[in-house]
């Protein structure tokens, strides 16, 4: 019995050895036919931002690469992301309008009206790193994905989106170039979109040229800048428009730490206040607080406020000057700001001060940004 057992084991070893030799004989042929490994994604070259904007961070698991940004740009203009192939991100975020849409309230699939005005996408690397008017998205990746599956916006599902992208000739190879795999997933879609959005940096305005020492503002623009940057103090005789308290100096967006960039800016009384940030935090003190948007390209992004209630910049300035409404959560820096002792809420600007402030706001328009070919539809 032991001898027969060894004999069978020896035969098995012989068969295994023969099979291994056979595979080794085939290996050169298999190796010669294996696809060449793709090179790693290319770090985005020449991506620079103004020193006066300050530092920023990019997620370690979603670095800026040539291939990732190129894929994100394709997806940004891709109507297959919507349920009926009629809406892309660019439908609401149009380059010529500084990536807004000119509507009071954004329109989604089948013409559905959303409850919010479309925000600009400029300079998203800075300012509060919570996105949407109510701060419900914790990063740009989440911000990029929510409209795709929102029934009132793009109205799709991830299964539908992935199936359509897999059938589109250009996408599997583009995902492979960006991520090293042809597998398309929701995470990779949103990472690519977020990468493209991070490159939407607006730095070519007249104000930027002033900050770089390339020109001087004219006297009215300079007066408007001074008003913008000054918190008024009636007792001390210091006049200002109080903008700086909510719109940080150079970026003109909300301040970055946590929810510092969200304010109740006096649009409604307690009976009319919407939830705003309270919908995210659950805190009653956050009722009526909304994200302070960047004022870069503000001349191009009308109408204004989270609900698009103001059609013109003149109306916006009039609001802060003469029509601030009291409520229990009104921002204290707005409540106390006054140019005239004993005046009602608001900074009560003169006609000339309003004109100067408007002139300064127009220096924030960046025509290079809205016509930048690297941000345009790659299929146009």
Which residues belong to the active site?
A: 153
Non-local (6+) Cβ contacts of 46 within 8 A are none
Kindly state the tokens that stand for 33.
Answer: 């036919």
Alpha-carbon gap, residue 380 to 373, rounded angstroms: 11
Measured CA distances, 163 to 84, 171, 324 (Å): 14, 11, 50
Tokens encoding 344: 């009602």
Task: Quickly list DSSP for 46-99.
Answer: T----GGG------TTS--BHHHHHHHHHHHT-GGGSTTS---HHHHSBGGGTS
φ, ψ for residue 329 (rounded to 5)? -110, 15
Is the CB of residue 117 less than 8 Å from the CB of residue 103?
A: yes
Q: List, in sequence order, every beta strand (DSSP E) within the chain.
A: 262-263, 290-291
Q: How far is 255 from 251, CA to CA, in rounded Å?
A: 9
Separation of alpha carbons 179 and 65, rounded Å = 10
Helices (H), 212-350: 219-229, 278-281, 313-322, 332-335
Q: What does the alpha-carbon distance between residue 306 and residue 41 come to, in Å, rounded to a whole number?
A: 38
């Amino acid at each position: 019995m032991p001898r027969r057992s060894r004999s069978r084991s020896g035969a098995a070893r012989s068969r295994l050895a023969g099979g291994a030799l056979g595979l080794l004989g085939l290996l050169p042929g298999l190796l010669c036919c294996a696809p060449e490994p793709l090179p790693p994604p290319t770090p985005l070259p020449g991506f620079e931002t103004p020193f006066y904007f300050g530092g920023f961070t990019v997620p370690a698991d979603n670095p800026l690469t040539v291939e990732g940004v190129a894929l994100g740009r394709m997806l940004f203009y891709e109507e297959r992301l919507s349920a009926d192939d009629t809406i892309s991100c660019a439908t609401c975020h149009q380059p010529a309008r500084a990536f807004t849409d000119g509507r009071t309230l954004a329109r989604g699939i089948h013409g559905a009206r959303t409850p919010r005005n479309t925000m600009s996408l400029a300079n998203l690397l800075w300012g509060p790193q919570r996105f949407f008017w109510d701060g419900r998205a914790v990063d740009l990746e989440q911000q990029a994905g929510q409209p795709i599956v929102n029934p009132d916006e793009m109205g799709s599902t991830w299964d539908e989106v992935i199936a359509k992208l897999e059938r589109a000739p250009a996408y599997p190879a583009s995902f492979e170039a960006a991520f090293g795999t042809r597998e398309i997933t929701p995470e990779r879609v949103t990472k690519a979109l977020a990468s493209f959005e991070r490159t939407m940096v607006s730095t070519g305005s007249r104000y930027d040229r002033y900050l770089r020492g390339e020109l001087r503002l004219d006297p009215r623009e300079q007066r408007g800048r001074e008003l913008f940057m000054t918190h008024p103090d009636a007792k001390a005789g210091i006049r200002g428009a109080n903008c700086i308290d909510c719109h940080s100096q150079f970026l003109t967006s909300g301040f970055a730490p946590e929810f510092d960039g969200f304010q109740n800016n006096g649009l409604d009384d307690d009976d009319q206040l919407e939830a705003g940030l309270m919908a995210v935090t659950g805190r009653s003190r956050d009722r009526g607080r909304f994200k302070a948007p960047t004022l870069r390209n503000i001349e191009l992004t009308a109408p204004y406020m989270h609900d698009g209630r103001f059609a013109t910049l003149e109306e916006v300035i009039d609001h802060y000057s003469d029509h601030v409404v009291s409520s229990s959560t009104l921002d204290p820096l707005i409540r106390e700001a006054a140019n005239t002792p004993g005046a009602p809420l608001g900074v009560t600007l003169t006609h000339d001060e309003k004109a100067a402030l408007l002139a300064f706001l127009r220096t924030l328009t960046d025509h290079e940004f809205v016509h930048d070919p690297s941000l345009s539809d790659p299929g146009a």
